[in-house]
Structure 1
Amino acid sequence: MRVGTAETVDAAGMRAQNSSLLLNMIWRERQISRAEIARRTELSPSTVSAIVADLEHSGLVRNIGAGVSRGGRRPTLIGFCDDAYSIVGVELGATHVTAILTDLRGRVRVHRHAPQAVRDDPKSTLQKVKELVQECLEAERVPKRSVLGMGVAVPSPVHPSAPGKLSPLIVPAWRDYDVQEWLKSAFGMPVLVDNDANLGALSECYWGAGVGGEDLAYIKLATGIGCGFIIHGDVYRGSGGTAGEIGHIAVDSSGPQCVCGLRGCLVTLIGSVPLVERARELMGTKGRRAPTVRELVEGARAGEQAARQVIDSLGHYLGIAVAGLLNLLNPAIVVLGGEISSVGDLLLDPLRTSVRKRALSTSMAETRIVTSALGDKAIAVGAATLVLQAALRNRSLFPLQHVGRTA
């Protein structure tokens, strides 16, 4: 490569890097002046003005009026346009599909949810995703060209070399399917895929318990049990994408056989299926249908002894895994998500007791254990946030020209 060409490439790369830097800053601050941007970034005022003009042309930022004077002319403030583009977020649960449409601030504008045999029926599941996403787009009359991309949360580890492929060990029915490629082909937009617990953690990092910037762990309590980590503001996935698979920590060597091949995994004891089955046995209703997780939650809140006993057991076994987590990573916050976590202190109290018996006192003292306040859309919002995070870090992921929301 000739020297002149190399210098041109380097200059283009620097402009792209600075554009992403400013976009992040304006998004984070919500409103800020050009002068303040120049001061913080140490870029020249002319460079800042040129980049801001480009971002204005793309519809990502706009002038929002004069700010407060600090002794001179009142500065013109630049604001981020939260509604410049839409993002699709999809959650594939073991037994349901959720699709949402958000703005660039994580606010949910449309929500669709349907029961679905995700683990066992990939073909129908993907068709259901297509149907629900299309409903979201039509509800807001959003053309696909105004959608930044789609994030998808899946109930499986995701290997970085094949992000669309689910683990055949965990969900064998999906062996021949590539979620990313299928949805890219169906919608003609960028698609990013990650593990559901990882995206629950990302959602908490941006919009929930972790907005203060602390490292956190998010534990999803559902049909499966998974954990996502945020370390220094980023999801930690491990070398092969399996970091956080606490559901497959063996906590009882004589326990039931797990689908992963191990025995006594945490998920075999506190996944939603064994939980409601245990509740049925304790309630003396064997032979009749097991209660739903929602009924178990309502029973525990109402003081039903069997339901409380099941929740206590959940807290005990989960505490074994959480204690190890605190000793190994010592996150500032552990967030519990999933419908069962809505019982609040009825779960947190036995969990904390179990942790105290097993974790180093210094680890326990530095960690808050809380339940999520983000509700049942948390993981789908995390999926949309995955796309938002990628675009804020790489300005080129936004379309070159803003096309608006109308067809």
Structure 2
Amino acid sequence: MKVGTAETTTVDAAGMRAQNSSLLLNMIWREQQLSRAEIARRTELSPSTVSAIVADLEHSGLVRNIGAGVSRGGRRPTLIGFCDDAFSIIGVEMGATHVTVVLTDLRGRVRAHRHTPHAVREDPRGTLQKVKELVQECLDAERVPRRSVLGMGVAVPSPVHPSTPGKLSPLIVPAWRDYDVQDSLKSAFHLPVLVDNDANLGALSERYWGAGVGGEDLTYIKLGTGIGAGFIIHGDVYRGSGGTAGEISHIAVDPAGQQCVCGLRGCLVTLIGTVPLVERARELMGQKGRRAPTVRELVEGARAGEPAARQVIDSLGHYLGIAVAGLLNLLNPAIVVLGGEISSVGDLLLDPLRASVRKRALSTSMAETRIVTSALGDRAIAVGAATLVLQAALRDRSLFPLQHVRKTA
């Protein structure tokens, strides 16, 4: 009985040390610099406990002394700062038609970036090979050894079930049925690999580095081949019980519309996904028999005042507004952020979208929500993938490699 009690006490003590270590790490990361005394005051931990944890974090290269702070009537305190460059993180976005890879530090700053068009939906083997090549190019460009990489986050154009995070939905991307993204990349790089839906990671990127840094609940909508939404609720991504929260591509907005690949009819994506948008633009421009314009050409045409391009963007705003109005009535987020290349038209999309929402959303919901376009650019989701790894490590100190010791001059 005594032995069991001693073992339980030891386990509890170890768990408490790990919890306190993660608590301090998060605090120093968030504030960027703090004194030991201030840490002790905020956490109500003893000075000796704080000093022991800080010493461990220093040994791991995650924090360092950065000089003296301002005196409040005694000796000037020594400030502890977070080392943003202690490790690197790889972020991968596998879009439906492209692959983007970034290498970031622990503050979300991009150190290296690679992007290439690729038929991700149809070519799983080639996609995984392309990801491996671009990841290695980023590592080589910055001369980053694998031991200095915290992990890899991967954004995929599919719902991700929590029990099988490496498997993409065969309903959405049937060509990926026999592939496991997580296993493939773990085997190739021998690193922790975390996988999530691309819109979820767009939302996470906005939460840490964009419109949601103030802590407000937000919805991120990715406009592309598919239409996905990611939700930040109480500061974290809401994924639903099976990982399919946010699949607004398949909201039925036209019961008499064409059949969707999911088997339903009149889904939002059949009206405002990239393919129907550019096809509609081609029809309106009288270019039957010619290739459809690219999204970039559609954006440029709308900015230049091309009537057909403007009409397509207006239609996009109208139909998207139907979905956004429903989201506002259900979730009432503080912010709705639009991402994806076509969102770069700005007010040309926001104006018809807001008008459509006003016709359908409760006035109180509309009054409390800002609808904006993302300012994070085309790397946002890849950076969000890297942020997924950062978030996990800040919450669990043990995910940082123990053997890493920061070199001092």
**TM-superposition CA deviations, 1:203-259 (whole Å, max 9, x none):** 000000000000000000000100000001110000000000011100001111111
Match 1:221 to one of 209, 214, 223 = 223
Look up the match of 1:68. Answer: 70
Contact 1:26 1:79 in 2 (8 A): yes
Identity %: 91
Contact 1:146 1:405 in 2 (8 A): no
Relative to structure 1, the CA distance from residue 295 to residue 6 in structure 2 (aligned partners, 3 Å threshold; closer, same or farther) is farther
Instruction: Give the whole-Å Cα distance in 2 for the aligned partners of 1:2 and 1:378.
Output: 54
Look up the match of 1:258. Answer: 260
Instruction: Give the whole-Å Cα distance in 1 for the aligned partners of 2:98 and 2:407.
Output: 29
Instruction: Give the whole-Å Cα distance in 1 for the aligned partners of 2:114 and 2:338.
Output: 23
Look up the match of 2:363. Answer: 361
Relative to structure 1, the CA distance from residue 87 to residue 6 in structure 2 (aligned partners, 3 Å threshold; closer, same or farther) is farther
Counting only pairs closer than 5 Å after superposition, residues 147-296 of structure 1 correspond to structure 2 as 147-296=149-298
Look up the match of 2:49. Answer: 47
Is the partner of 2:318 in helix, strand or coil? helix
> Shift in Å at residue 73 of structure 1?
1.1
Contact 1:102 1:384 in 2 (8 A): yes
Relative to structure 1, the CA distance from residue 145 to residue 286 in structure 2 (aligned partners, 3 Å threshold; closer, same or farther) is same
Is the partner of 2:21 in helix, strand or coil? helix
Is the partner of 1:370 in helix, strand or coil? strand
> Shift in Å at residue 395 of structure 1?
0.0
Instruction: Give the whole-Å Cα distance in 1 for the aligned partners of 2:165 and 2:281.
Output: 37
Instruction: Give the whole-Å Cα distance in 1 for the aligned partners of 2:16 and 2:405.
Output: 26
> Shift in Å at residue 406 of structure 1?
13
Aligned residues: 407
Contact 1:145 1:403 in 2 (8 A): no
Contact 1:146 1:404 in 2 (8 A): no
Instruction: Give the whole-Å Cα distance in 2 for the aligned partners of 1:395 and 1:303.
Output: 53
Look up the match of 1:303. Answer: 305
Contact 2:59 2:406 in 1 (8 A): no
> Shift in Å at residue 405 of structure 1?
9.1
Relative to structure 1, the CA distance from residue 26 to residue 127 in structure 2 (aligned partners, 3 Å threshold; closer, same or farther) is same
Instruction: Give the whole-Å Cα distance in 2 for the aligned partners of 1:133 and 1:171.
Output: 23
Relative to structure 1, the CA distance from residue 161 to residue 406 in structure 2 (aligned partners, 3 Å threshold; closer, same or farther) is farther
Contact 1:253 1:263 in 2 (8 A): yes
Is the partner of 2:81 in helix, strand or coil? strand
Instruction: Give the whole-Å Cα distance in 1 for the aligned partners of 2:297 and 2:122.
Output: 25
> Shift in Å at residue 3 of structure 1?
4.9
Instruction: Give the whole-Å Cα distance in 1 for the aligned partners of 2:120 and 2:46.
Output: 53
> Shift in Å at residue 62 of structure 1?
0.2
Q: Which ranges of structure 1 fall in alignment gaps of 5 or more residues?
A: none
Instruction: Give the whole-Å Cα distance in 2 for the aligned partners of 1:261 and 1:6.
Output: 59
Instruction: Give the whole-Å Cα distance in 2 for the aligned partners of 1:125 and 1:406.
Output: 40
Is the partner of 2:80 in helix, strand or coil? strand
Instruction: Give the whole-Å Cα distance in 2 for the aligned partners of 1:107 and 1:128.
Output: 23
> Shift in Å at residue 131 of structure 1?
0.3
Instruction: Give the whole-Å Cα distance in 2 for the aligned partners of 1:84 and 1:292.
Output: 41
Moved more, 4-13 or 340-349: 4-13
> Shift in Å at residue 72 of structure 1?
1.3
Instruction: Give the whole-Å Cα distance in 1 for the aligned partners of 2:271 and 2:184.
Output: 34
**TM-superposition CA deviations, 1:89-138 (whole Å, max 9, x none):** 00000010011100000000000011111000100000000000000000
Instruction: Give the whole-Å Cα distance in 1 for the aligned partners of 2:65 and 2:155.
Output: 36
**TM-superposition CA deviations, 1:344-381 (whole Å, max 9, x none):** 00000000000000000000000000000000000000
> Shift in Å at residue 401 of structure 1?
2.4
Instruction: Give the whole-Å Cα distance in 2 for the aligned partners of 1:292 and 1:405.
Output: 49
Contact 2:60 2:406 in 1 (8 A): no
Contact 1:293 1:339 in 2 (8 A): yes
**TM-superposition CA deviations, 1:305-357 (whole Å, max 9, x none):** 00000000000000000000000000000000000000000000000000000
Contact 1:250 1:265 in 2 (8 A): yes
Instruction: Give the whole-Å Cα distance in 2 for the aligned partners of 1:46 and 1:403.
Output: 22
Contact 1:143 1:406 in 2 (8 A): no
Relative to structure 1, the CA distance from residue 271 to residue 405 in structure 2 (aligned partners, 3 Å threshold; closer, same or farther) is farther
Relative to structure 1, the CA distance from residue 2 to residue 239 in structure 2 (aligned partners, 3 Å threshold; closer, same or farther) is farther
> Shift in Å at residue 149 of structure 1?
0.1
Relative to structure 1, the CA distance from residue 2 to residue 345 in structure 2 (aligned partners, 3 Å threshold; closer, same or farther) is farther
Is the partner of 1:254 in helix, strand or coil? coil
Is the partner of 1:357 in helix, strand or coil? helix
Contact 2:205 2:381 in 1 (8 A): yes
Relative to structure 1, the CA distance from residue 6 to residue 242 in structure 2 (aligned partners, 3 Å threshold; closer, same or farther) is farther
**TM-superposition CA deviations, 1:253-304 (whole Å, max 9, x none):** 1111111100110011000110000000000001100000000000000000
